[in-house]
Structure 1
C-alpha cells in the first residue's frame, strides 16, 4: 500500500485567550494531528470544546498562541510577504456555520462568489468572470439566473451552496467546513453533505469537517478526531471509532446518539463521562498514544498499558 501524502501537519497547536483578570481560556491546548491529501478528517465534540477555534487557527483567522501548522511542509503561521500570504489564502478556504451571517446582504450572489476571483486576478475580463460565476453556480446545484439576486432571496440550504461556491471560486486544495450543516433543516443537511462528497471526488479536495452531529460525521469522514476541553482525546478511522471507542469521553459521546428504534431508545442507557475516572496523577504524562495501528488515545502510560491489554 502506497504511503499517503500529508497535506497538513498540526504540531502542539495552542490557542489561548486572555479574558482579563489574569484568567486565560485554553480553547486549544497542545493538539497534534495530520490530514492527508484527498481525505476528510472529521472533528467532533460538544459545544465549547475548541473544535471551531482549531479550524479558525489553522486557516489564520486567529494567530496561534504556540505550535505549528504546516501546509505542504510550509509553516502557515510563519512570517509571510503579502504575495506569499495571498498565495496561501488561495490554497485554503473555509465554509462557515451560519449561511445567514456569512454572506454580505448588500452584495449580489455574483459579486459574493467572484470576490476571490477578483482578488486573485483569475478572470481576464468581465465576461470570463461571469462565466466562472455561472459555472460555479451550476457546480453547486444552483442556476445562473441566481447570479443577480441577493442572499435574502434564498433558503438556508441555497445560501450554504453559495458559500460553497465562494470557497471553490479560487480553486483551493483544502477546505475547512466549520459546522456547515448545523444551521440547516435536517432534510437539507444530507443534500449539502452529498454535494461536498461529490465535489471532493471531482476536484480532489481535502476537508476538515467540524461538527457535533456524530452520525453525519461518520457518513462523510475517513478519520475522526474527538475533542474535549481543548484536548484531542481520540483519533481513529471512522469505522473503528464507532465500533470500538476507547476513551471514556468518546464512549459517552457515542452513547448519546439517538436511535431510530423507540423500543431500544426507551431502555437504552447513556454513558455519563466523569473525567476523574482517569488516572490524572501529576507524575504521569498524558499524551496521544497508539493503542493499535491508526487508533490513538490521549492517556497516561498506565492507562495505555491497560488499554493495550483490553483492546489487543
Structure 2
C-alpha cells in the first residue's frame, strides 16, 4: 500500500538579500516529501539551512522560489486571511529555545490557550480551561501549573508547555526545530519519548530538525542530510546509518561518539572536502535514487561510481 503524501517540497529556495553582493543562499533548491504519520529527520551542521527550511515551510519566511504543497495545496500561494488561518491550525511549530519562545508576561494557561482563542475552539471559559488542563496532563504536567509564569519552570517543563501550545489546535503536522538542543541530556530523552507517544496517540506527522545524529536516528523514520543549503542525501534511518553514501554524511556519522573506550581509541574522524567532487561546468548535479527510497546528490559519473562501489 502506497504511503499518502502530506507535504511536498519542490525546488524550495530561500535566499536572503537576493541580487546583492552579500546574498546568502540559505536553502538552495531542495525537494522532498513527508508522508502522513512519519517522522522525517533533517540534520546538518549549524548554518546549513535546516532551520530556515522549517521556517520557510510554515511561512515564517516567504519562499524565494519553489513550492510547498500541504495536502496538495500551495502553502505560499495562500493569500486570504481565512486560508492562512485554516493552514496555521493544521501546521504548528515547536521552537528551539524553550526560554525565549514563551511570553514571560503571560501565564501558562493563556500561553497554551492562545491558539484556542484565535481559532474559536472553546465555546465557554470553562471549556477553554478544561482544554488547557487536558493539554497540561497530556504533556506530563498538572493543572496547578496553569496559573504560573514561564520563569517558574525548568527548561524541560517549558518545552513541554511549548508542545502543549502546539497541540492546542489539533494540528496534523508539527515542525520541531531542534526541540531538545537547549535541554540537559537527562531531559532530552523524556521530551523525545513524549513526542513519540503523542505521535502514536494523535497520528501526528513530524519534521524533526536537529544536529544530534544519535537522537535523530532514534525518532526518525527517514533522514535527510543538508549541507550549505543543499539536500545531499535522503534515506530510511537504518539505511543511512548502515550505508551512508555521500562523503559529507560519512563525515557526520564518523563524529558520533560511542560509550566504548576501545572503539573511541581507534575511531578515525572523516573530514569532508567539497573539492573531492571536482564537478565540471557540464556536470548535471542533482538528487538521484540509487536504491528504493535512497537518494544522493551527485553527478551522473558519481552515480555510476556509487552503484559500482556498493553493488547497487
Which bracket does the TM-score occupy, shorter chain normalised? over 0.9
Query: Which runs of 5 or more residues in structure 2 are unaligned?
Result: none
CA deviations over 1:17-36 (Å, ceiling 9, x no partner): 01895221000000000000
Counterpart in 2 of 1:277?
276
Q: 3-state SS of the aligned residue for 1:23?
A: coil
Counterpart in 1 of 2:121?
122
Q: CA deviation at 1:282?
A: 1.4
Query: Which runs of 5 or more residues in structure 1 are unaligned?
Result: none
Give structure 1 regions of 4+ aligned residues with deviation exceeding 6 angstroms: none
**Number of positions where the alignment pairs a residue of Structure 1 with one of Structure 2:** 311
TM-score (norm. length: structure 1): 0.98
Q: CA deviation at 1:262?
A: 1.7
Q: 3-state SS of the aligned residue for 1:209?
A: strand
Q: CA deviation at 1:124?
A: 0.3
Q: CA deviation at 1:121?
A: 0.1
Counterpart in 2 of 1:9?
8
The reply on whether 1:218 has 2:223 as its aligned counterpart is no
Q: How does 1:184-223 map to 2 (within 5 A)?
A: 184-223=183-222
Q: 3-state SS of the aligned residue for 2:32?
A: strand
Q: How does 1:203-282 map to 2 (within 5 A)?
A: 203-282=202-281
For the residues of structure 2 that align with 1:19 and 1:87, how far apart are their CA atoms? Answer: 30
Output the aligned Cα RMSD.
0.9
For the residues of structure 2 that align with 1:44 and 1:273, how far apart are their CA atoms? Answer: 16
Q: How does 1:94-113 map to 2 (within 5 A)?
A: 94-113=93-112
Q: 3-state SS of the aligned residue for 1:201?
A: helix
Q: How does 1:1-312 map to 2 (within 5 A)?
A: 2-18=1-17, 22-311=21-310, 312=312
Contact 1:279 1:300 in 2 (8 A): no
Q: CA deviation at 1:267?
A: 1.9
C-alpha distance 92-25 of structure 1, shift in aligned 2 (>3 A): same
